[in-house]
Amino acid sequence: DIQMTQSPSTLSASVGDRVTITCRASQSFSNWLAWYQQKPGKAPKLLIYKASSLESGVPSRFSGSGSGTEFTLTISSLQPDDFATYYCQQYNSYPHTFGQGTKLEIK
């Protein structure tokens, strides 16, 4: 199995800040990585696929990059609606695996 490790586990930031979340994989792969946003009591929502492709309807302040073993999700200017937990997911191989999550909190 490919293990996905996110950092940090918790991130405190303010509205307007630029934030970056990192996802590291235990094995190298191309760009078969997705990012999701999850709010309390809700299902995850797809933000980014293929490492850097923005899902339709997702604001352009979200962006993704990376390949190999290191991937990043960047939010260019935090909005109040962005405070949530974020997960990365690899789909290079089965079983699909997720990072442990990064909780983005209001500072």
Partner 1 sequence: QVQLQESGPGLVKPSETLSLTCTVSGGSISSYYWSWIRQPPGKGLEWIGYGHYSGSTNYNPSLKSRVTLSVDTSKKQFSLKLGSVTAADTAVYYCAMYRNGYYEGWGQGTLVTVSS
CB of 38 to partner 1, least distance (A): 8
Q: Which among 10-18, 22-30, 68-76, 95-103 is the span making contact with partner 1, rule CB under 8 A?
A: 95-103
**Contact status: 100 vs partner 1 (CB under 8 A):** yes
Question: Torsion angle, CA of 107/60/71/21, rounded to 10 degrees?
Answer: 0
Return the closest-CA partner of residue 64 out of 28, 9, 94, 21: 21
**Contact status: 34 vs partner 1 (CB under 8 A):** yes
Q: Which residue, chain included where needed, has tokens 């909190």?
A: 105
Task: Report the helix count and the strand count for the chain, using DSSP H and E.
Answer: 0, 10
**Contact status: 44 vs partner 1 (CB under 8 A):** yes
**Contact status: 103 vs partner 1 (CB under 8 A):** no
**Contact status: 64 vs partner 1 (CB under 8 A):** no
**Contact status: 57 vs partner 1 (CB under 8 A):** no
Q: Beta strand pairing status for 102-106 and 10-13?
A: parallel
**Contact status: 71 vs partner 1 (CB under 8 A):** no
